[in-house]
């Protein structure tokens, strides 16, 4: 974690909202890897992200230039964690399914 983030944790304490904010900032800056590092740290700390943060992560993955198979794996990881946190799985828009299937993959696999 960055020095600024560590200072924030030490000063105000940590809860899921801090992770929500940091992850959304990383997504805005198109820093997917950093966002997923924070996602991992949040899970390891036992905090729950908000559903909109999960949705933002999934949408970021869909739009990224990550390999399609890796996209599907990341999305499945996020969906699984969402279910464990008591949320409903992410439902894809038609345009998102098209993006995922345009590389020869069947986006329907993710919904199962």
Between 10 and 99, where is the model more confident? 99
* pLDDT value for 14: 63
Compute the average pLDDT of residues 69-86.
Answer: 94
Give the Å distances, CA to CA, from 104 to 7, 13, 56, 72, 78: 45, 45, 24, 12, 22
Structural domain harbouring 88: 3-111
Per-residue confidence band for 15, with pLDDT thresholds at 50, 70 and 90? confident
In tens, the pLDDT along 31-72 reads 999 999 999 988 888 888 999 999 999 999 999 988 999 999
The tally of domains found in the chain comes to 1
Question: Given a cut of 90, is residue 92 above it in pLDDT?
Answer: yes
11/108 Cα distance (integer angstroms): 44
The CA distance from 105 to 89, in Å, is 19
Per-residue pLDDT, 17:
84
Q: Note the pLDDT of residue 16.
A: 77
User: DSSP secondary structure string, 30-77?
Assistant: T-HHHHHHHHHHHHHHT----HHHHHHHHHHHHHS-S-HHHHHHHHHH
**Per-residue pLDDT at 46:** 87
């Amino acid at each position: 974690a960055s020095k600024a983030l560590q200072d924030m944790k030490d000063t105000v304490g940590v809860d899921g909202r801090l992770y929500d904010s940091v992850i959304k900032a990383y997504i805005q800056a198109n820093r997917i890897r950093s966002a997923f590092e924070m996602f991992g740290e949040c899970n390891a700390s036992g905090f729950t992200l908000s559903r909109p943060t999960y949705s933002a992560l999934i949408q970021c993955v869909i739009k990224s230039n990550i390999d399609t198979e890796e996209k599907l794996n990341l999305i499945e990881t996020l969906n699984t964690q969402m279910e464990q946190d008591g949320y409903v799985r992410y439902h894809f828009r038609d345009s998102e399914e098209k993006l995922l299937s345009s590389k020869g993959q069947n986006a329907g696999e993710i919904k199962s």
